[in-house]
Amino acid sequence: MPEKVVRIASPYQFAFFVAVPFFLFGAPFSLKLDSCLIAQELPGEGGRPEVVLTDAARILHESVLLIDGHNDLPWEFRERGTPSFDTLDISKPALELNTDIERLRRGGVKAQFWSVYVPVSTRLNGEALLQTLEQIDFVHAMVKRYPDTFSFCRSTSEIELAIKEGKIASMIGVEGGHSIENSLTVLEKLYDLGARYMTLTHSATLDWADASTDEGKHGGLTEFGEQVVVRMNELGMLVDLSHVSDETMRDALRVTKAPVIFSHSSARAICDHPRNVPDDILPIVKANRGVIMVNFYSGFVVPEAGERNRLLQTETTAWKQAGDNESVVKSKTTAWRKTHPLARGSIHDVVDHIDHLVKMIGVDHVGIGSDFDGVDSLPHQLEDVSKYPLITQELLNRGYTEASIQKIMGENVMRVFREAEAVAKKLSTQQK
């Protein structure tokens, strides 16, 4: 996960923020500076105006099946050393997080894939599976702690039932194939525990799959990697291609019999970063009937920020090649980010990615995958889980129909999930 970066406004901007409200209102006022998103830019960064929510958009948003493909709340709790909801109760305002129950409700979230990410370094000390199981336990504990809010779901029928009952359907996504420790049996165990997608890699190339931000070793998937994809199809587990190399994308799309997802990726043509999906892969995703769920992280959606992240990737690779261990690389990364802050961007940057993908492959292949509580910089007007209605508003502003917005917000992902279930059922019948 990226280190958190604090960006300080220039003296002139700070003076503007302080002086203008005092001049206009002639009364004391306060400025709330978010711990990780101190604004360097004025509202409507990039010359584009703030999105203003209308009654029409609010009413429409209340009706959409909003499914977010990726939220890292379990990891954020682990990072903070507060695995207990007695310590940090999300039924109360938790402004140090991007996520709490009140804001999930305000955001109109109907279903959420909770990421059970653990660092790729755990593959080196034999703790990948153990820590993944602990993260899975966290999600189950959250659902048990807040039964009036969350309902744990393993299928599309359970998602539909949870939503009908007014609860937030909660599913598990395993972020990184290192969690299975090179074992199909472990993959099956994670499925039994409720995992319904697995991202084939995270940031490091595995013994069986190349990652997008690491040196490629296999030219995509190995034979075992292909077996992983086949077994996921047989289980009805969604194949997630966020984080993987272009070659791994192609191999997985060739092998899979079910539609894939990119649970939290954006368009490389808009922001040139290897974590995003290149245009030449898009037609294959369309033919596969898959869905790309657009990420909100500034470093993956804002063009200038993408350039900064590519520079950092080059530096990181050089440090590793020079023999720096993980803790040294992390320290150097923190220092580098302080002197090379990301451009935060705005909601418009995120919708630009949605626009591009829709224009390239159609509205049936786009979704939402925020990456909330897993990133250090988020665009203006997309700071937390309460902000999703503004995406609906901006899509309306850009001429999208209500039916198209319904698809983008969640219907496309439900369709992919149903098709994956159908493929698993068909394969099971064929094997009997």
Q: What CATH number is given for 41-302+342-431 in this structure? A: 3.20.20.140
* Partners of 115 in beta bridges: 173
Residue 69: closest CA among 107, 110, 101, 129 = 110
Catalytic residues: 70, 72, 175, 202, 243, 264, 371
Neighbours of 74 (CB within 10 A): 25
Q: What pLDDT tens digit does each residue of the chain (432 aa) get?
A: 443 333 333 333 333 333 333 333 333 322 222 222 223 344 455 679 999 999 999 999 999 999 999 999 999 999 998 778 999 999 999 999 999 999 999 999 999 999 999 999 999 999 999 999 999 999 999 999 999 999 999 999 999 999 999 999 999 999 999 999 999 999 999 999 999 999 999 999 999 999 999 999 999 999 999 999 999 999 999 999 999 999 999 999 999 999 999 999 999 999 999 999 999 999 999 999 999 999 999 999 999 877 787 788 888 888 988 988 878 888 898 898 888 888 899 999 999 999 999 999 999 999 999 999 999 999 999 999 999 999 999 999 999 999 999 999 999 999 999 999 999 999 999 987
SS3 for the chain is: CCCCCCCCCCHHHHHHHHHHHHHHHCCCCCCCCCCCCCCCCCCCHHHCCCCCCCHHHHHHHHHCCEEEEEECHHHHHHHCCCCCCCCCCCCCCCCCCCCCHHHHHHHCEEEEEEECCCCCCHHHHCCHHHHHHHHHHHHHHHHHHCCCCEEECCCHHHHHHHHHCCCEEEEEEEECHHHHCCCHHHHHHHHHCCEEEEECCCCCCCCCECECCCCCCCCCECHHHHHHHHHHHHHCCEEECCCECHHHHHHHHHHCCCCCEECCCCECCCCCCCCCECCCCHHHHHHHCCEEEECCCHHHHCHHHHHHHHHHHHHHHHHHHCCCCHHHHHHHHHHHHHHCCCCCCEHHHHHHHHHHHHHHHCHHHEEECCCECCCCCCCECCCCCCCHHHHHHHHHHCCCCHHHHHHHHHHHHHHHHHHHHHHHHHHHHHHC
Structure tokens belonging to residue 326: 């993980």
Per-residue pLDDT at 26: 36
Terminal-residue alpha carbon distance, the chain: 43
- In the chain, where the domains are located: 41-302+342-431
Total number of residues shown for the chain: 432
The verdict on pTM exceeding 0.85 is yes
What is the reported pLDDT for 46? 60
